[in-house]
Copies of this chain bind each other. A is one copy, B any other.
Amino acid sequence: MTVSLLTQAQHGNIRALSQLITAIESHDKDSLNLHSAVYDARKGAPILGITGPPGAGKSSLTDRLIHRYRKQGERVGIVAIDPSSHFTGGAILGDRIRMMSHASDPGVFIRSLGTRGSHGGLSRATQDIVACLDAAGFDRIIVETVGVGQTELDIARIADTTLIVLVPEAGDVVQTMKAGLFEVADLFVINKSDRGGGENLSTALQGQMALDEKAWQVPVLLASALKDEGIEGILEQIEAHRAFARDNHDYHTMREMLRRELFFDLLSDEIASRMRQKIAHDKHLSQLLEHYVHEGRNPYGLLAKLLESIVP
């Protein structure tokens, strides 16, 4: 029945797509088949990551990009993530975008994601939703996240191209920015640059990046989502990065490394969830776990017992 949701979603049924994502998120006992079917059905749409500190205007910028893609006749699927929110399913970030103008456009699908209900972490939940959107045939997928922390970095790594949005006054944000953020950035956009000061930040960013020897010269673009300025330049650079990525050996090596990591994350996750069930159904193991949880300093006794029960 759930696999038929996939078929319906592939035929453009938005309601079925919502239900498919919910089914994928539920991680039922037999959802692995559904996961496999969804991942098999992926078409390989480009995934654009948009991240940056709160207040940088990510939603407005996302909105502008969606408009351009829609004009080109492309369907756009968006995952809007707020790691500080516990809410999953409908509102927050997604609402901000949705309310702008795409509420009645069937070519735009938005799914919001908070930390609650994200079995196996935000990163995995995001990947699963992206896979659903990709399988459903969206031409572009955008993953928007708030923040500049580790979770956001992990999520940026899901994207083929990662765009970091800043404001002209973000000099100190750049100072405290993690080195990792520079590593994942494929494109910097200084939004709200009609305020002035964008050139200074641009110089600072370029200076910082000159330290890295990257094959891809990360562009720093000035824009104003509100005034609809600089959007075409962003679209061009997104495509330029895609063209670069297609042929670059290092890029592919990095992708392969990430895929390898993803696989082992997935595996650990799946096994841990089975182990939880195993413990829940085994009185002796449950008692050992409770003993450790209540007073124990040493988790390794229980660990050894559980590992014994697994084929080495």
Contacts and interface: CB of A to CB of B under 8 A. Distances in A.
A166 B53 CA distance: 19
Given A274-B312, A310-B311, A263 B303 contact: yes
Interface in A181-224: none
A270 B302 CA distance: 12
Nearest to A272: B268
Given A266-B303, A275-B267, A307-B270, A293 B259 contact: yes
A304 B33 CA distance: 9
Interface string A244-286: 0000000000001001101111111111101110000000000
Contacts of A293: 256, 259-260, 263
5 contacts: A32-B300, A39-B297, A149-B150, A268-B269, A311-B311
Nearest to A180: B84
Interface stretch (A4-12, A98-106, A170-178): A170-178
A42 B296 CA distance: 10
A178 B149 contact: yes
A267 B35 contact: no
A13 interface: no
A90 interface: no
A240 interface: no
Contacts of A131: 297
Contacts of A256: 293-294
A298 B180 contact: no
A243 B83 CA distance: 33
Counting chain B CB atoms within 10 Å of each CB, the highest count among A149, A180, A307, A309 belongs to A149
B311 A309 contact: yes
Contacts of A266: 299, 303
Nearest to A262: B299
A236 interface: no
